[in-house]
Structure 1
Amino acid sequence: MLATDWYIIDNVDELDTPALVVYPDRVQYNINLLKTMIDDPSRLRPHVKTHKSIDAAGLMMQSGIKKFKCATIAEAEMLGMAGANDVLLAYQPTGPKLRRFVRLISAYPQTAYSCLVDNTATANAISKEAADTGINISVYIDLNVGMNRTGIIPGEEAIALYELCAALPGLVLKGLHAYDGHIHDADYSIRKKRSLESIKPVLKLVDDILAKGYPNPKVIAGGSPTFPILAKLKDIEVSPGTFAYWDRGYQQAFPEQAFQTAALMVARVVSLPDEGKICIDLGHKSVSAENELNKRVYFLNASELKFTGQSEEHLVADAGEGHHYKVGDILYGLPHHICPSVALYERAITIENKLVTGEWKTIARDRKITI
């Protein structure tokens, strides 16, 4: 069997489709590679949005990674259940979410939780909630470095917010957070230039904070596209996430990151509707559909297929006249965007030594686990 056939499942007849499958040995390879790309693994704070799994987080913890980042209360609780040491909820909790976050802190005391804040009203609300419940809540100032989604522009207003959070009762001010998700140029030199320009005002803000006599703030920055760049800077925690499973989109866009694709959607041909056409059981409820039709999935063993339509449970492809496909044929699909694709499945089937061996529950795809 060719090395390129790493994805083949020998007992695939036991697997109903569509199915999300994960290859733990390749996930471990990606974790090991990640650690070689930075001078100090303690600066790693991986985002768990891709895998949403206790098992994948467990592999990272067994490999010495102790700090994590997440976007939802469920992801934060999943990490508490896994026994993570340090978890940043990279979100500003408001209303019921703030009350859930407080319950989370109490429910998992072995995990040091923190969250984001980017305005005075929220800072005061978090302070009040902390005072009312008799706890301390750790916060990071969320900075807008060009994503234009959340955060405050680095500068005088950010310093004023920093000073307020440092003074408010119940708040423990940890540092600064800057996500540069708008930087994803395929050209590495352009991406590097933009990334370094993006982080410059954050580092200036650190200097301004130190000049006012505050302790050195922690800085958490970046995602997968800028990880190799920010990893070379000192004293910054970096937060790649997609590396755990990788995908077709990042594989093509960022070849300088040699992570292995570690999760696939296994599908079957279910119908031959007319000459040259095949229908596959991989609708847009089974693979992320936010991209155009030809950038949703890439079949490793059927790369010549041209997609002509997709609905909730079906994907129609042009296979050409005289094609060899039959009903029941297995197709191994590499998604272009793995993160939302994983969220469509309640479990990932583990494949080891080319055999179905078990499953990893995608437990944090739920909006609520217990809290």
Structure 2
Amino acid sequence: MMTKSDIPTPALVVDLPTMERNIRLMSDYFASRACKLRPHFKAHKTPEIARRQIAAGSCTGLTCATIGEAEVAATVSNDILIANEIVDADKCRRAAALAQKVGVTVAIDSVAGLEQLSRAATEAGVTLGVLVDLNVGQNRCGVAPGEEAVALGKRARTMPGLKLRGVMGYEGHAVGIHHRAEREAAVRRSMNQLSSTAKMFAEAGLPTELVSGGGTGSYDISSEVERINEIQAGSYALMDSDYGSLDTPFQQALFVLGTVVSRPVPERCVIDAGHKACTKDHGNPSVKGMKDATVLALNDEHAIIAIPPASQVRVGDRLALVPSHIDPTMNLHDVVYALDGDNVVGVWPIAARGYGRG
């Protein structure tokens, strides 16, 4: 059997028992609630992980960020939400083609987007679901909550080939706030805008079948807000140091494995895992199990790590980095090695990585 020492570095590895515990914890949380989970596929882009999330229960389907992700996710789920706007004609046609096989719902925040989706759906003879996307404070995409959203919802309801299903909004600006009370207040401010708009939809006779939002840092807050009925959390299965600094019950399961290729001086070592193997957009990674080690820099192919001069680290040893942001780190690799202890029990394709599919 292949073991950890046989894995060519740099490599992504997942602690399988820890990942399964994380998945079970989230599934159990939603099991007795009206609000359910729609795991975000973009976090790991890996069908085998998505299968395990769905099998654990409490899921309505999968969330995706791109049409390319959706095409891969559709191999394991029959209900896909693309939680970003797609307006390119080819991508809309691909969404319509996918809707011939599985249920597809797309976020919209413009009439132009509605028209493109409607045209693609009618040409393909299918129905695409749409959710009106709200700007609930992240200031990215989305229409203003309230009347503007209702007006777009009314327009969506008249478009051939489309089925309005409700509203969504992502409080991404709030999910990473470290102080619990401050995070809860910010999340509730955002989700109350989503909830109040859903109420206005209902009063206007518009559907509220889906009222979707939330993330790993806010799942237990957003899910308690009235009318919110699904949460789009994704990072919880694997985790990263950014989310790991919050008060969630999930444990770190994903690591970037590297080999010590140099120890030029006692207080420094170098491993063969740089920023081509581990992103640093949320800060440098940390080193698993070495609180006295600090990643000083990530170069293309190397991580330069400060260590105590008395450390027993030797050339040829394996060290594991804890990424600060899993989504883009997963996107750098073709496969992830599943570990149970030191044994490799699976080599899983990260099938939706990259932009070859859009």
TM-score of the superposition, structure 2-length normalised? 0.93
- Assess if the C-alpha contact under 8 Å between 1:305 and 1:319 holds in 2: yes
Amino acid of the residue matched to residue 201 of structure 1?
Answer: Q
The answer on 1:238 being equivalent to 2:236 is: no
Equivalent position of 2:352 in the other structure: 364
Partner of 2:80: 87
CA contact (8 A) 2:287 2:294 kept: no
Give the distance between the partners of 2:106 and 2:303, measured in 1 at CA.
Answer: 40
> How is 1:286-305 mapped onto 2 (pairs within 5 angstroms)?
286-291=277-282, 295-305=283-293
Tell me how far apart the structure 1 counterparts of residues 35 and 145 of structure 2 sit (CA, whole Å). Answer: 26
CA separation in 1, counterparts of 2:286 and 2:337?
A: 19
Unaligned runs of 5+ in 2: none
Task: Give the distance between the partners of 2:12 and 2:34, measured in 1 at CA.
Answer: 29
Distance 1:326 1:353, change over 3 A: closer
After superposition, residues 194-343 of structure 1 pair within 5 angstroms as: 194-235=186-227, 236-252=229-245, 254-255=246-247, 257-291=248-282, 295-343=283-331
How far did 1:44 drift? 0.9
Distance across 2 between alignment mates of 1:215 and 1:307: 50
Label 1:157 to 1:41 Cα distance change in 2 as closer, same or farther (>3 A): closer
How much does 1:21 deviate? Answer: 0.5
Alignment of 1:176-187 (within 5 A): 176-183=167-174, 184-187=176-179
2:46 to 31, 48, 53: 53
Offset at residue 234 of structure 1 (A): 4.5
Query: 1:48-86: per-residue Cα shift (whole Å, max 9, x none)?
Result: 11111110011112212341101012221121112x121
Q: 1:321 to 1:353 in 2, by over 3 A?
A: closer
Shift of 1:322: 4.6
Give the 3 Å change call, closer, same or farther, for CA 339–41 of structure 1 in structure 2: farther
* 1:170-216 C-alpha deviation (Å, 9 max, x unpaired): 11000101001000211111111111111222222222222223344
Q: What does residue 352 of structure 1 align with?
A: 340
- Structure 2 counterpart of 1:75, one-letter code: E
Are 2:178 and 1:190 aligned? no
46, 54, 69: which one aligns with 2:63: 69
Alpha-carbon distance between aligned partners in 2 of 1:201 and 1:147, rounded to the nearest angstrom: 12
Q: 1:29 aligns with which of 21, 29, 33?
A: 21
In structure 2, C-alpha distance between the alignment counterparts of 1:90 and 1:118, rounded to whole Å = 11
Consecutive unaligned residues of structure 1, counting only runs of 5 or more, are 1-8
Q: 1:336, CA displacement in angstroms?
A: 1.7
Mapping of residues 61-210 of structure 1, within 5 Å: 61-64=54-57, 65-82=59-76, 84-95=77-88, 96-106=90-100, 109=101, 111-183=102-174, 184-210=176-202
- Match of 1:364, SS state, is coil
Distance across 2 between alignment mates of 1:322 and 1:23: 29
Considering only aligned residues, what root-mean-square deviation do their CA atoms show, in Å? 2.0
How far did residue 167 of structure 1 move? 1.0
Contact 1:301 1:331 in 2 (8 A): no
Name the CA shift for 1:23/1:324 in 2 (closer, same or farther; >3 Å): closer
> Distance in 2 between the 1:127 and 1:10 partners?
50
Q: Deviations over 1:146-173 (max 9, x none)?
A: 1110000012221111100011111100
Amino acid aligned to 2:319: L
Alpha carbons of 1:105 and 1:164: their partners in 2 closer, same or farther (altered >3 Å)?
A: same
How high is the sequence identity, in percent, across the aligned residues?
29
Letter of the structure 2 residue corresponding to residue 128 of structure 1: R
d(CA) in 1 for partners of 2:349 and 2:329?
14
State the partner residue of 1:3. Answer: none
**1:102 shift after superposition:** 2.0
TM-score for the superposition, normalised by structure 1 = 0.89
SS in 2 for 1:327: coil
Contact 2:280 2:324 in 1 (8 A): no
**For 1:266-303, what per-residue CA distance to the aligned partner results, in whole angstroms no more than 9, with x for missing partners?**
11110123453221111110111224xxx322112333
SS of the residue corresponding to residue 81 of structure 1 reads coil
Q: Partner amino acid for 1:358?
A: G
The verdict on how the C-alpha distance between 1:280 and 1:232 changes in structure 2, with shifts beyond 3 A counting, is: same
SS at match of 1:358: strand
